[in-house]
Amino acid sequence: MKTARLLVVDDEDDLTELLVMRLNRHGYSTDSAVSAEEALPLLNKYYYDVVIYDIRLPGMDGIELLKRTKMIQPETEVLMLTGHGTVETAIEAMKNGAFDYLAKPYNLSELEITIQKALENKLLKDKNDSMKTIIRQQNDFQIIGQNLKFRELLELTERISDNDLPVLIEGESGTGKELFAKALHYWSSRAEEPFVAVNSGAIPEQLLESELFGHVRGAFTGAVQDKKGLVEAANGGTLFLDELGEMPLMLQVKLLRFLETGEFRKVGDVRERKVSVRVVAATNRDMQKEVEEGRFREDLYYRLNVISLAIPPLRDRPDDIPVLIRHFLQKAKQPGIKIGDSALHALQSYSFPGNVRELHHLIERGLILSRGPVIEEKDLMLPTRSDGRPGLVDGKIATLEEMEKEHIGKTLALMNWNKMKAAEALGISVRNLYRKIEQYALHE
């Protein structure tokens, strides 16, 4: 078995010498440096499995050295030591690819355990590299887009994928939040473990705790046998909490405790159970507003929002519309069908309240209604305003609320006011739809 090679960079000579001696006694091959400038030639000469950097170094600091390391040796796991920085500095290190951090003065045994975890993580990543390539090519997992900001977001997603910190994905309905959650899972070392999605808005409030944590026989009327919850089903993998803003306050307390300890109790049970999951949450709401108005716990919000990904709406990346259309035509096995110039122009001028999901539905409609090899503007049946142009009211650009109100109203009419079908088409929960109907005073 290959001896793991380590590098320690710290300007405290006595502590570094002691650490190097101890690590070598444990079978590692360990080098050391007192500054980033001294470490960089070593990084260019040798391959390291794990490196350990003090955040505060003379000259170039540990954060910059971390960034340089990831450019030179992307696969190397980085541990950060901080006795001077704040939690924010440590989180910045994690965002830039650090595996973990320890506060000084650290316990040597704890550091050795963290090094071993980093080595195990690296081994899993090495085994998973070939599988990542295959997964990225699967049709049900393609994230399509060439827009510069969108690509930068995708690169950030990949950079933080192998990190166990919670991630909050924010974006409007239909932007592809679940795709990004899957990316975080399948591009990580947890890829071979379960990806379990929980839609807080689709499960009745009284059943949500049982669905999430499970229950034991006799816990309530109808609980005739023990049931494993989705948290337990996700053990080893990723738990995706979709429509986070729909979660009842009572359950938010239990979720917070689970996030802090990894422990939970089934409904009706007294025993604590422990699992290892990476939690990713998604919402289409303004969570700061939800917190301010008392509908969401502030402590839970900050616990989940360690790293956030903000998915841009489709109207902010019209240059991606032609790329997405080609993808949808290929997926429909209709690559010979083209989109007409007027239809493309109309789509790029449209505000897309339903985002990518709505574009997909429009292309499906165009395929059905077109009478030749070209989808024309009339085939799309775009929602129109009073002057016949999409996205306008009385010749002026419509507000998002105006667009949302009309879009929801037309969807309800199209579904004959079947709220289950309308909510599904809109990509929101039935509870959320009822709130929108009340907010906009919509009626049959």
* DSSP line for 342-411: HHHHHHHHS--TTHHHHHHHHHHHHHHH-SSSEE-HHHH-----TTS-TTEETTEEPPHHHHHHHHHHHH
For the packed helices 419-426 and 430-439, what is the interaxial angle rounded to 10 degrees?
100
Residue 107 reports pLDDT greater than 60: yes
pLDDT digits (tens, 9 = 90+) for 218-228: 888 877 787 88
CATH of 5-129, one of 4.10.80.40, 1.10.3720.10, 3.40.50.720, 3.40.50.2300: 3.40.50.2300
**Predicted TM-score (pTM) above 0.95:** no
CATH 3.40.50.300 domain locations along the chain: 140-310
In sequence order, what are the residues at sequence separation of 6 or more whose Cβ sits closer than 8 angstroms to the Cβ of residue 138? none
Confidence label for 386 from pLDDT (cuts 50, 70 and 90): very low
Confidence label for 280 from pLDDT (cuts 50, 70 and 90): very high
Buried b (16+ CB within 10 A) or exposed e, 22-47: ebeeeebebbbbbbbeebbeebeeee
Distance, in Å, from the CA atom of 147 to the CA atom of 264, rounded to the nearest integer, reads 42
Looking at per-residue pLDDT, the higher value among 133 and 346 belongs to 346
CATH 1.10.10.60 domain locations along the chain: 399-444
Buried b (16+ CB within 10 A) or exposed e, 335-346: eebbbbeebbeb
pLDDT of residue 388: 47
pLDDT digits (tens, 9 = 90+) for 130-143: 445 444 434 346 78
pLDDT of residue 85: 56
CATH 3.40.50.2300 domain locations along the chain: 5-129
Distance, in Å, from the CA atom of 9 to the CA atom of 260, rounded to the nearest integer, reads 31
Q: With H, G, I as helix, E, B as strand and everything else as coil, classify residue 215.
A: strand
Confidence label for 203 from pLDDT (cuts 50, 70 and 90): confident
Q: 314-382 domain in CATH 1.20.1260.10?
A: no
Average pLDDT over residues 246-265: 92
Q: Which of 28-42, 96-110, 240-254 has the lowest mean pLDDT?
A: 96-110
Beta bridge partners of 310: 170
CATH 1.10.8.60 domain locations along the chain: 314-382
- CATH code, 399-444: 1.10.10.60
pLDDT of residue 126: 65
CA dihedral 374, 378, 379, 382 (to 10 degrees): 130
pLDDT of residue 176: 92
pLDDT digits (tens, 9 = 90+) for 40-95: 999 988 889 999 999 889 999 999 999 999 888 888 999 998 876 566 787 888 88
The number of angstroms, rounded, from the C-alpha of 199 to the middle of its chain's C-alpha atoms is: 15
pLDDT digits (tens, 9 = 90+) for 230-242: 999 999 999 999 9
In sequence order, what are the residues at sequence separation of 6 or more whose Cβ sits closer than 8 angstroms to the Cβ of residue 166? 259, 278, 279, 280, 281, 303, 304, 305, 306, 307
CATH topology for 140-310 is Rossmann fold (3.40.50)
Question: Considering the chain, what percentage of its residues have pLDDT values greater than 90?
Answer: 46
pLDDT digits (tens, 9 = 90+) for 424-443: 778 788 888 888 898 888 88
The chain-wide mean pLDDT, for the chain, equals: 86
Distance, in Å, from the CA atom of 213 to the CA atom of 230, rounded to the nearest integer, reads 6
